[in-house]
Amino acid sequence: MTPTLDLLRPGPRTSLQDLGRIGWRAMGIPVAGAMDRIGLGLANALVGNPPGTGCLELTLSGPLLRVAAESVRIALAGPARISLTKTTGERRTLAPDRSWRLERGDLLEIGPINGSLVAYLAVEGGFAIAPLLGSLSTHLAAGLGPLGGRTLEAGPLPLCRDNAEPGPERRLTRPLPYGDGPIRLVPGPQADAFTPDALATLLSSCYQVGTRSDRMGMRLEGPKLRHRGQADIVSDGIVAGCLQVPGDGSPILLLADHQTTGGYAKIATAISADLPRLGRALPGDRLEFRAVTVAEAEAVRRAQERAMQDCLDSLAPVEENGRIDLAALYRAELISGAVTGDEEPVAPPSAGTI
């Protein structure tokens, strides 16, 4: 019998996502993929998957699932409450940002996501679902994806493994490199299509994420940005992060499900390092912006990739009773020592420090 995770209640907008459908934009096929590639990467790393393995992207709140496999290792990356109910009736709360081993018949319920629009549920080995054009990503507006391009409905999700691999669970030990402060923008490519004060207005104002935002674009509420002439241009290529400004002057920041071309002038483009943070933004969140150069944007992205790899390299095993494995922490050189209840220093095997 095929091992599955059975979706008993899918959640409001649960979909399959990976890092996107790369290489098809010239044919008008959008990339799609995870709104937050950092969260997707963490969820996969916690269960030992390659970083681009398909996960469940949960929006606002999560699903209710039942394990129909001998065992499965799962991890949720994101600030959500997780409840586990065993076949015996025992209930417990599970922590996010670490892996857990579940057994046949276990019920997993993921509640509201707090402080982020999205969270990611990964399973060890991934889902046994055939990709479409090389990707498990779901583009909701186009109905493009391996399961009909829709949000998930109640039913079984086939798994690649019937048993979780032996070994300890793992957990995150340092903050993820989302960054903070203003969203960084590279002006253009059509900044000259706007009045001289439009860019200054964008960079000096506070905007609010509108309620009509979705995976395709974030509608920003705030001061209007004025064009020199018409808002329309000859359609050209679009990338995630572009700030299109239609004729009403209200900017739209394009996200994961953005179209491949667009006919509105683009005043600026959010740098790729800030896209995961934007993908997590909730309606009502307030955003400020500042301008950077292309060279600065590239340096920030490289630094973020290094910091993300450091986070993944520092994932620490967790003992069965839930305590962190101190020996593993010492080996990772995350701390230089520990103190017992008697306040006697305990030296690590090596003298690594932060």
Q: Do residues 75 and 145 both lie within one domain?
A: yes
* Structure letter (DSSP) for residue 262: E
The answer on pLDDT for 92 being more than 90 is yes
Helices 294-313, 37-46: axis angle to 10 degrees equals 20
Let me know whether 214 and 142 are in one domain: no
Domain contains 310: no
Residue 239 lies in a domain: yes
Q: Two tokens at 231?
A: 């808002």
Are 158 and 250 found together in one domain? Answer: no
Q: What percent of the chain has pLDDT over 70?
A: 90
Does residue 248 fall inside a structural domain?
yes
Neighbours of 123 (CB within 10 A): 29
Task: Judge whether 176 lies within some domain.
Answer: no
Q: What is the pLDDT of residue 342?
A: 46
**CATH number (domain holding residue 294):** 2.40.100.10
Mean pLDDT of 304-313: 97
Rg of the chain over CA atoms, in angstroms? 22
Helix, strand or coil for residue 127? Answer: strand
- Taking residues 178-196, report their average pLDDT: 95
Is the domain of 189 the same as that of 276? Answer: yes
Pseudo-torsion of CA 83, 10, 35, 21, nearest 10°? Answer: 130
Question: How would residue 319 be classed by pLDDT, with cut points 50, 70 and 90?
Answer: confident
Position 320 in a domain: no
Same domain, 105 and 245: no
Q: Do 104 and 203 reside in the same domain of the chain?
A: no
Nearest CA to 72 out of 40, 44, 35, 100 is that of 100
Whether residue 90 sits in one domain with residue 112: yes
Q: Are 246 and 202 in a shared domain? A: yes
CA angle, residues 95, 279, 74, in degrees to nearest 5: 30
141 against 271, higher pLDDT: 271
Instruction: Give CA–CA dist 53/125, Å, rounded.
Output: 8
pLDDT at 157: 97
Looking at residue 196, its pLDDT comes to 87
Asked if the structure places residue 257 within a domain, the reply is yes
Strands 289-291 and 183-187: parallel
66 within some domain: yes
Q: Which pLDDT band holds residue 139 (cuts at 50, 70, 90)?
A: very high
Average pLDDT over all residues of the chain? 91
Handedness of CA 113, 117, 123, 127 (dihedral sign): positive
User: How many structural domains compose the chain?
Assistant: 3
By DSSP bridging, strand 107-113 and strand 64-68 are: antiparallel
User: What is the C-alpha to C-alpha distance for residues 342 and 345, in angstroms, rounded to an integer?
Assistant: 9
- 55 and 153 part of one domain: yes
214 and 155 assigned to the same domain: no
Residue 333 reports pLDDT greater than 60: no
Domain limit, last residue, from 136, 171, 206: 171
Whether residue 95 sits in one domain with residue 130: yes
Residue 30 binned pLDDT confidence (cut-offs 50, 70, 90): very high
Please say which residue of 148, 171, 194 terminates a domain: 171
In a domain, 340, yes or no: yes
Mean pLDDT of the region 186-203: 95
Which residue, 171, 205, 228, sits at the end of a domain?
A: 171
Domain residue limits at 240: 183-305
> Is residue 97 domain-shared with residue 35, that is, in the same domain?
yes
**Quick one: pLDDT at residue 323?**
55
- Chain-centre distance of CA 117, in angstroms? 9
Q: What is the pLDDT of residues 96-136, one digit of tens each?
A: 999 999 999 999 999 999 999 999 999 999 999 999 999 99
Scored b (16 or more CB within 10 A) or e, 147-186 reads bebebbeeeebebebbebeeeebbbbbeebbbbeeebbbb
